[in-house]
Amino acid sequence: MSISLSRRGFLAGTAGMIALHPFSLRAATNQAHLRIMETTDLHVHVFPYDYYGDRPTDTVGLARTAALINDIRAEATNALLIDNGDFLQGNPMGDYIAYERGMKAGDMHPVIAAMNTLGFDASTLGNHEFNYGLSFLEKSLAGANFPVVCANVAKKLGASPREDETLLPPYVILDHTVTDGAGEDHAIRVGLIGFVPPQIMGWDRRHLEGNVQARDIVDTAKAYVPQMIEEGCDIVVALCHSGIGAADHADGMENAAIPLAAVDGIDAILTGHSHLVFPSSNYADFSGLDVGTGTIMGKPAVMGGFWGSHMGLIDLMIERDGAGWRVLSHTSEARPIYERDADRKVNALVESAPAVLASVQQEHDETLAYVRRAVGKTDAPLHSYFALVADDPSVQVVSNAQEWYITQMMVGTEHEGLAILSAAAPFKAGGRGDRSITPMSPSAMWRSRTSPTSTSIPTPCARCASPGPRSRIGWNALPVCSTRSHPAPKMRLC
């Protein structure tokens, strides 16, 4: 006896195991479910590791986000995996590769290796991709097994964006195959166009001035999107490494996601840059947004957090007609890799993907050796317990180092001898939880801001090193024990 089972019957029968998205279950003949997965603002966070504190963490890492990918792909009949920029810089591994190991022609950057392992379909540039210079960027991208696009950065400007000599291809059209609800395969052309804040020209002026120029995001989109449609795009997705800001367009705006979404021809938009999550209550009162439906100017949109904290998802139900494909309905969400309980304790929702860890294991080990290397010595304890409310020695060390470094750079130039102002901020300081405090015992100073053995050492008196109770605080926030009557040592301010 023969048994005939349709694709829809099979999917319905196995839905309990696979937990298919409703679009995949409901798709009919000439209808298909297309899922777009987004990572954004990875900043070289591949391992779930805090290199500054020298300890594992459950809140970051592409290896953790990767654990979501197989399940997410299994929920959909058709899927694309896209990165939205800021992947090349942002943690000690990135600095180690740029400043210590270097990138020669033919070298593989670890974050690119991890992305290749996961089979990314495309990426765009973020503003931090330019932090190490154009040569470093070019060598890093050379190892990518996926296209990287950016429409509004040009080596030479033309009379209009379409006449520019762009640094990278402005867009890519992926010839993709989708399976409809009847199990039939169909060709679809998905266009991906990338954008970066034009403010890069100021932020990385020393690398970019005289080499490239940047255009306004929205004006560039208005020029290129019609061309993409002319070339046969069925679906156009904007890879917008730009935040969600004002609804009204202003020339050169940094956070242009809302007016960009309003451009005719764009079907969906991936956002980032702001290190936030959309849809979420963060954007409840923004004009042009609907948090409930996950739309910007009526277009499906997502922002997937930062450092691998979330996987952004846009699900499209698309239908094929005589003119091509059109979007019938859509949903958006940002799926996290961890959650916090009522006591704010972090609970991991996924484990790391072993293949991703293995792809960067060597660079991870080398980075640990790099950040654990002593760079100096201190004869007084350093910490940042009170950095938000008083002058602070740990911040002062950074400020002094900056002043020293710039002074050396000025030697032999027209600026030698000029006064130097050094500013430093307490990014890791008291009041934000124990993991934001940076204690350091008297001894070596480390690149990771804390020695591998110092995290559990109680902070002693700043004068006599007594481990007893401290009651008096000097103006520079160094603790003084209650059994002595000596003041805390002062530090010179820049």
Domains and CATH numbers, the chain: 7-364 (3.60.21.10), 376-481 (no CATH)
Report angle CA 261, 264, 266 to the nearest 5 degrees: 55
Q: Looking at the predicted structure, is the pLDDT value of residue 81 above 50?
A: yes
Strands of 310-321's sheet in order across: 148-149, 122-124, 78-83, 31-39, 310-321, 324-336
The tens digit of pLDDT for each residue in 382-394 reads 778 888 888 888 8
Q: Are 443 and 457 a contacting pair, CB within 8 Å?
A: no
Q: How confident is the model at residue 437 (pLDDT cuts 50, 70, 90)?
A: low
The tens digit of pLDDT for each residue in 99-147 reads 999 999 999 999 999 999 999 999 999 999 999 999 999 999 999 999 9
The tens digit of pLDDT for each residue in 234-256 reads 999 999 999 999 999 999 999 99
Q: Are 481 and 466 a contacting pair, CB within 8 Å?
A: yes
How far is 347 from 444, CA to CA, in rounded Å? 33
* Residue-level pLDDT at 478: 35
Q: How confident is the model at residue 25 (pLDDT cuts 50, 70, 90)?
A: confident
Q: Which two tokens stand for residue 185?
A: 């395969």
Measuring CA to CA, which residue among 36, 203, 41, 197 is closest to residue 111?
41
Put residue 149 in one of left, alpha, beta given phi > 0 → left and psi -120 to 50 → alpha. beta
Put residue 344 in one of left, alpha, beta given phi > 0 → left and psi -120 to 50 → alpha. left
* Residue-level pLDDT at 440: 63
How far is 7 from 13, CA to CA, in rounded Å? 10
3-state secondary structure of 162: helix
Between 381 and 32, whose confidence is greater? 32
DSSP string for 456-481: TSPP--TTT---S-EEEE-TT--EEE
Amino acid at 168: L
Name which of 63-77, 301-315, 435-449, 470-484 the model is least confident about: 470-484
* Residue-level pLDDT at 242: 97
* Residue-level pLDDT at 431: 56
Kindly provide the b/e burial profile for residues 105-114, where b requires at least 16 CB atoms within 10 angstroms of the residue's own CB: eeebbbbbbb
Average pLDDT (290-309) is 97
How far is the first Cα of the chain from the last one, in angstroms, to the nearest whole number?
88
* Residue-level pLDDT at 375: 79
What pTM was estimated for this model as a whole?
0.82
Average pLDDT (149-160) is 97
Count other C-beta atoms under 10 Å from residue 358's C-beta. 13
Between 456 and 123, whose confidence is greater? 123
Q: Looking at the predicted structure, is the pLDDT value of residue 347 above 60?
A: yes
3-state secondary structure of 406: helix
The tens digit of pLDDT for each residue in 263-284 reads 999 999 999 999 999 999 999 9
Considering the chain, what percentage of its residues have pLDDT values greater than 70?
83
